[in-house]
Amino acid sequence: MQSSLKKSLYLGLAALSFAGVAAVSTTASAKSYATAGAYSTLKTDATKRNVEATGTNALYTKPGTVKGAKVVASKATMATLASSKKSADYFRAYGVKTTNRGSVYYRVVSMDGKYRGYVYGGNSDTAFAGGIKSAETTTTATNATNPTKLQNYYLKDVSKNTLWTAPKYTQYKASKVNLYGASKTDPFKVDSAATKTREGSLYYHVTDVNDSSISGWIYAGKGYDATATTQDLGGLSLTVSDAAATADNSVKVVYRDATTKAVVGTSDTWITAATGTKSGDAVKSTELNAAKQNLSAFVLATKPANYKVVTNSGTGDAATYVAPSTTQYGSTLYVDVTATATSKINLNVDKVNNITNGDNTTTDVTNPLTKGTKLTSSDVTVKGFDSTLLDGTKGDSISNLAAISTSLKGAILTGTKTYYDANGAAYHYEFALTDDSVFASDNRAANYGDTLNAYYTATLKKDAASTTTSNDSWIG
């Protein structure tokens, strides 16, 4: 019996030992999961929340360290999307969760809607990091891609060459514009241009001249080229597709320098939509082309860029151009033009005012502005300045310096950079024309096209600066 008892104790101890080992093993292999906080919808401007993958983190159905998170797109897939040349592979961030470990996960969706989930975004819910970074899906056009011709474009095919609210896949849910009411004879004007950052394809933003509610982005091929004999404009055309010029229905318009009589730019052809006209007939002011323009309106609309048509009717602000009543179908109309130019203005800091406190101490900030600093368009936001005052005939003396000075004095210039004092308090500068009375005398020898100089007093103000820049092309 004693032998039997010993055997029972031995087996019992063995069983207990096994159970203890199993318990330790289970405890050692149990995974410690993070927990995620409440979901928050991102409220900032949606177009500023375009991001691209960095390829360092996968995309999950939940924050990646939370129990039950499943892979939507692996790290390798995200790396492929990061190096993609397709706009469809950008993402839009629209929500955020933060785990109890301080890790931030952004809720994102690809521009084509194929991938949606959470990706690690660093340790801040105000800046993208980790698996994503901010992306500029389009690049503002340069002088090389901005068209020199802005008027009289036509849709090649209203049923096929549609407009978009943004170039496709450069914004989440960019959609087609409703073209109901647009005719194939409607002329469109170009007001801006941009290229898709990844593909490099050029888009023009156009507006229907006959209905300003119809506007959007359209693929523009290689863009307008004033030196080319044929144009590659994607979904656009320079003529109404079903119109053909003949001696019986058209007038060739040639622009020439008013002084030298040298031909300027390329010629354009006005084609009437009226029927029954014959070569040699006088063109009537009531006869319109497919774009509903008479010959005089066409001349003004198709003038070369950076030129103005010499007026031949009216005076002052009412001066305009009227095609001669002797102009005949089948003939060439020569129109005199003069070169125009737009001056720029250097914004120079002439004086700096810091804040004087109640105890007569001065608030000092890190790296303050100094006298002699030249401001760029990215340094300031400008409101209220009439930049059209800088336009005039190239080479002519600027005759409205007083008006420019008055407009500069009334304009609001706010700095876009935030400065901090020793206690971490935020400040920014505001700028005011130091002495508007000297602006005219300082620039009295300037001609249109020259760069002018304006001198400003920079005054330190409390609170952080707005990061919205002016991007005004007139700032030198």
Q: Are 218 and 205 part of one and the same domain? A: yes
Q: Are 98 and 143 part of one and the same domain? A: no
How many structural domains are present in the chain? 4
Q: What burial class does residue 295 get, using C-beta atoms within 10 Å of its C-beta: 0-12 exposed, 13-18 middle, 19+ buried?
A: buried
Domain boundary among the residues 241, 270, 288 is at 241
> What's the confidence (pLDDT) of residue 49?
96
Question: Is residue 9 predicted with pLDDT exceeding 80?
Answer: no
Q: Does residue 4 sit within a domain? A: no
Domain boundary among the residues 216, 241, 266 is at 241
Q: Are 318 and 368 part of one and the same domain? A: no
> What's the confidence (pLDDT) of residue 245?
87
Q: Does residue 90 sit within a domain? A: yes
Q: Does residue 145 sit within a domain? A: yes
Q: Does residue 364 sit within a domain? A: yes
For every residue of 373-412, DSSP letters joined together read PEE-TTTEEEES--GGGGEEETTSB---HHHHHHHHHHSE
Q: Does residue 11 sit within a domain? A: no
Q: Are 230 and 257 part of one and the same domain? A: no
Q: Are 162 and 224 part of one and the same domain? A: yes
DSSP H or E segment with residue 15: helix 2-29
CA angle, 377 then 378 then 380, to 5°: 75
Q: Does residue 118 sit within a domain? A: yes
Question: Is residue 406 predicted with pLDDT exceeding 90?
Answer: yes
Query: pLDDT tens across 44-88, in order?
Result: 999 999 999 999 999 999 999 999 999 999 999 999 999 999 999
In terms of residue numbers, what domain contains 414? Answer: 343-462
Domain boundary among the residues 188, 211, 241 is at 241
CA angle, 190 then 195 then 196, to 5°: 135
Dihedrals φ, ψ of 86, to 5°? -115, 130
Q: Are 457 and 444 part of one and the same domain? A: yes
Q: Are 73 and 109 part of one and the same domain? A: yes
User: Domain holding 224: CATH number?
Assistant: 2.30.30
CB 177 within 8 A of CB 164: yes
Q: What burial class does residue 321 get, using C-beta atoms within 10 Å of its C-beta: 0-12 exposed, 13-18 middle, 19+ buried?
A: buried
Question: Is residue 390 predicted with pLDDT exceeding 70?
Answer: yes
Q: Are 349 and 451 part of one and the same domain? A: yes
Q: Does residue 427 sit within a domain? A: yes
Q: Are 237 and 149 part of one and the same domain? A: yes
Residue partners of 340: CB distance under 8 A and separation at least 6: 306, 307, 308, 391, 392, 393, 394, 448
Distance in angstroms (rounded) separating the CA atoms of residues 433 and 442: 13
> What's the confidence (pLDDT) of residue 244?
74
Q: Are 263 and 371 part of one and the same domain? A: no
Q: Does residue 54 sit within a domain? A: yes
Q: Are 107 and 162 part of one and the same domain? A: no
Place of tokens 């250097």: 346
CA angle, 240 then 241 then 243, to 5°: 70
